Amino acid sequence: MPIRRAYTTCRYGQMHYREAGPADGQTDAPVLVLLHQNPSSSWEYEPLIAALAIDRRVIAFDTPGHGMSDAPPAPPGMAGYATAFADALGALEITGPVDLYGFHTGTLLAIELALALPAQIRRMALTGIPMYPAEERARKLAEAESFPAPDEEGTVILGLLGKLWAYVVGGRAAGVPLERAVRHFADKAYILDRFTWAYRGVWSWDFNRLARLDLPVLLLQPFETLREPALAAARLIPGCVVQELPDLDRDIFDLAPERLAHDLRTFLA
């Protein structure tokens, strides 16, 4: 399935996105919007886009400041990022029903977008809602807010690059080719000068907002680090359906895009 790259506009400037759909352009399914984790871009979704786009239009945005999207002037918080996605949908003249899928940081972006556009967002699936205990979130927020800026000697960025390589490449799941892992590394490394911006929004987010959701929600959850926080969060979402994926852990878009597409398509139908 060919994936097209293009730009639209939002309040922060240009927003880059990837999209694909049926070859004949004919579909009755709502547009499906994918929102990625931090620090990444819509690139990580390419295998899933291809698997989903056989019967629907799929759009994966680069969050402002990530990938090839223009950055906001300062950390905008989850609601600020979400309003930019709402701008982009309007600029693309997408006025009909929209379905959402969010992964990790993208779960909170999807939730905020659903709360911002309640009449337009139809269904939503989430993976890895980062609702750690309140004390841990407070600690993570303090770390994000006090993280040192890049220095002339490169100490801060080079230190981050070493940790990023160890996690993304060295710690990748079995079956992920080295060249794919290196590309993930490069994608994430691109924004290391401001990687804390989105995390400040994540760790300061009010998880009581989960109870305000009023639409069908699926938690599609592998056995990853965020499993327990995500299951706890799902209990706060009215009527949330939980589907666990016990044989999957990390790198799920590389290892199981067809399976994820099947599960998402079943729920969204």
Cα(100)–Cα(123) distance, integer angstroms = 6
Q: How many CB atoms lie within 10 A of CB 113?
A: 27
Helices (H), 98-205: 105-116, 134-146, 155-165, 178-189, 196-203
Q: Is the pLDDT of residue 28 over 90?
A: no
Q: Is the pLDDT of residue 1 over 70?
A: no
Q: What is the mean pLDDT of the chain?
A: 97
As a whole number, mean pLDDT of residues 70-92 equals 98
CATH of 4-135+198-268, one of 3.40.47.40, 3.40.50.1820, 3.10.450.50, 3.40.50.300: 3.40.50.1820
Q: Is the pLDDT of residue 86 over 90?
A: yes
Cα(143)–Cα(203) distance, integer angstroms = 10
Each residue's pLDDT tens digit, 185-233: 999 999 999 999 999 999 999 999 999 999 999 999 999 999 999 999 9
Cα(108)–Cα(99) distance, integer angstroms = 15
- pTM beyond 0.95: the answer is yes
Amino acid at 233: A
- Evaluate whether 218 touches 125 at the Cβ level (below 8 Å): yes
pLDDT tier for residue 68 given thresholds of 50, 70 and 90: very high
As a whole number, mean pLDDT of residues 25-42 equals 94
Q: Is 169 exposed, middle or buried (0-12, 13-18, 19+ CB in 10 A)?
A: middle
- Evaluate whether 71 touches 12 at the Cβ level (below 8 Å): yes
